[in-house]
Amino acid sequence: MAYATVWKVIFKDKRTEITFAPILYVDAVADIADNGANAFNRREDRSIENGETRLVAMDTEFGPPSKEVNPNEEVDMLNWLHAVTQDQQAKMAEVAEVQISLDAAIFSNGLLVGPDSSDLDRDFNAKLETKQRLYRQIVSDLDAGRAVDEAFGPAKTLAVQRPAPSRNPLAIYETIAAQEIVALRKRIGDSAVPVVFGQAIRKEPFVIRKSSTN
């Protein structure tokens, strides 16, 4: 469902940099709420199943290749990887050591394990709540007879916002959630929006509980 790694980078000049890298699969919760609907499980960004592996970097991860990526998306991905590679190469030239550990993980039953120094539960809930709110608002607007473009108005507005982390560190997850909502519409097509978004709405809250052994 979600996990956060800790990257401790020790530079040659003895500087130390610590980065928490949360990876959040909030739509996996929607699948569970929908009793197995797999509208989101055809993508490479779905949650990690038993026996699966992922290649993890400091600020992203790489899952199994998607069969749905079109040529334009593939070009965008390659350009992004090239930019990330150049940035990392410049930074790593000054690095003496990198220490990587797992800070926390959230499983499909809501169990959280690990010290959670990164506040993974807080981040997960922030993104989940935004997505659920947008799903409900869009479905409600469509049920009321509004056009798809009109129903997506709030999501599109939120998706282009540039939040200030210093004012609200969770605002970035609201923006990311809205961007994913807009991208999902494009991927499935307007005709599928009412059904897929309706299925994504949870009937009950998703409760995260910390392991007693943490």
Positive or negative torsion for Cα 38, 39, 43, 48: negative
What is the pLDDT at residue 62? 67
What is the pLDDT at residue 30? 74
The DSSP call for residue 66 is: P
What is the pLDDT at residue 143? 97
User: Is 118 in contact with 2 (CB distance < 8 Å)?
Assistant: no
What is the pLDDT at residue 32? 46
Query: In whole angstroms, how far apart are CA 152 and each of 92, 142, 165, 190, 208?
Result: 41, 10, 25, 11, 29
Q: Give me the residues of the chain with pLDDT under 70, please.
A: 31-47, 59, 62-75, 77, 214
Residue 105's beta-bridge partner residues?
3, 113
Q: Based on the number of CB atoms within 10 Å of its own CB, is 153 exposed (0-12), middle (13-18) or buried (19 or more)?
A: middle
- Runs of H (alpha helix) within 93-211: 120-143, 148-151, 153-159, 171-188, 193-200
What is the pLDDT at residue 167? 79
Phi, psi dihedrals of residue 98, rounded to the nearest 5° = -130, 125
Residue 201 CA to residue 44 CA, distance in Å, equals: 21
- Can you read off the two tokens belonging to residue 60? 């992203």
- Can you read off the two tokens belonging to residue 204? 């009950």
Q: How far does Cα 25 stand from its chain's mean position?
A: 5
What H or E segment, with its residue span, contains residue 32? helix 27-33
Report pTM: 0.80
